[in-house]
Structure 1
């Protein structure tokens, strides 16, 4: 989730730099050291925390809060109404965590009353060119969306997830932390934490081994996760039995328990399954 955001007094800090062609509505809160470039527009409800940069032609619409150090590049739009025919102008919001970078032409829509009324992007994320974040999405910290990624409404994405260029995530899909999604992949079902998915219609191809190693997971933990993956998605028997077997054998491990909790949580979309006939994750470090 986004970092806790500080409380600012309404108004424009004297140290903020605002280009004369920018339009900042009365009532907007502009923090110390903010820079608002040519032809940007900022709504009356907007709050820009310390050091926010809007490069040029950026649109901030409605109730939007940008955390300290957020950068939005040319023609990005944040807070426009959701693409939901049921939306009738109800007050909903967008929050962006500190130091997140939003590149050119990216779009982030505010929440809807049919969801929780909030679209939320965590801290230290990178939203690349022309990516779209639909209404009521929740992204945790250090998420990277590559160029042209499309998130339908109500998508949930955990920490340190990478989504490759052109991927499309169906509405209400959940993606656990530290997942890698291959480019041009259509994700229609939930992806377990630490998984790697790819394909025209996403299937698990193994674990995100490179991500696990980069973030310092010990070899013993990685080996446990490999064994759990094989037990859940490669072993014979019905899935419920395999889940119970993993619980009995590995349930004391908190990382394994994270996967089990994710699998057992309520889901709109079901669980992304492993593709048959591909190289096992312990033979090829995809991701």
Structure 2
């Protein structure tokens, strides 16, 4: 522990914790011996850091957050596993994040510039990309893989082992039991795809022409006249010049046997989002 860091007298820092000089540890925090608190981190107060947890530069962590708790996994035997949080993340009240399991990946990894609003949860062995937002009460089950620029609405739950592609949006109150392709909107209890996340794509700087190409690729992949596996190979050829379309093709092609892909809502294969300027 470096003595230059501000540490409130009411906080407990176990011997062995590594706290950067510019970190600010507010009142009534408890920091375990294997914790690493990097430069510019601010623990507002009443924060618990357990196990081998690293908090990246510039993160702000609000009261009643517990980071690095052991995995809620009955197969875990108590071995050393880790939680790593990237830079410039905001972690609001009562958020929980668990370390990995010693019979699996062994690590839970959070990217940079993420926002976790109150009561959201990241379970063991998850990987979360950059610029991801979990709104109040959103929950990730174990082993989830969340891409970059994903938004997850309040009170939504993502089933264990589910993958969510880059720039997808999961609407509030949804139950996500299968993989969600990149750039899509998923909604509902046992969610279905509702088209493309056009608003998110515009905000990311994607051109109107590329969005229109992506719409055609989406319609091709989910054309009910043929199996999705056949449609994917058609799209691989037809949209080979579109990097965004190829991300969807590759995402679907990479799914393992345990993965179920969330389909479009019946009768709504076309993207119904407004894509007019």
TM-score bracket, shorter-length normalisation: over 0.9
Task: Give the superposition deviation at 1:255.
Answer: 1.6
Map of 2:181 onto structure 1: 192
Map of 1:6 onto structure 2: none
SS at match of 1:228: helix
The correspondence for 2:271, drawn from 255, 270, 281, is 281
TM-score normalized by the length of structure 1: 0.93
Instruction: Structure 2: give runs of 5+ residues left out of the alignment.
Output: none
Which structure carries more relative contact order (alpha carbon 8 Å, separation 6+)? 1
Check the 8 A contact 1:188/1:269 in 2, yes or no.
no
1:139-163 CA-partner distances (Å, limit 9, x unpaired): 0100000000111000000000000
Cα separation, 2, equivalents of 1:164 and 1:75: 21
Cα separation, 2, equivalents of 1:169 and 1:282: 24
Check the 8 A contact 2:198/2:273 in 1, yes or no.
no
Instruction: Structure 1: give runs of 5+ residues left out of the alignment.
Output: 1-10
TM-score normalized by the length of structure 2: 0.96
Count of aligned pairs: 274
Map of 2:29 onto structure 1: 40
Indicate the RMSD between aligned Cα atoms, in angstroms. Answer: 1.3
**Quick check: 1:129 aligned with 2:118?**
yes
SS at match of 2:248: helix
The correspondence for 1:102, drawn from 88, 91, 94, is 91
**Quick check: 1:229 aligned with 2:218?**
yes
Distance 1:69 1:163, change over 3 A: same
| Superposition map of 1:15-54 within 5 A | 16-54=5-43
**Quick check: 1:169 aligned with 2:158?**
yes
Cα separation, 2, equivalents of 1:38 and 1:77: 15
Task: Give the superposition deviation at 1:247.
Answer: 1.2
**Quick check: 1:271 aligned with 2:254?**
no
1:211-234 CA-partner distances (Å, limit 9, x unpaired): 000111011110110001111113
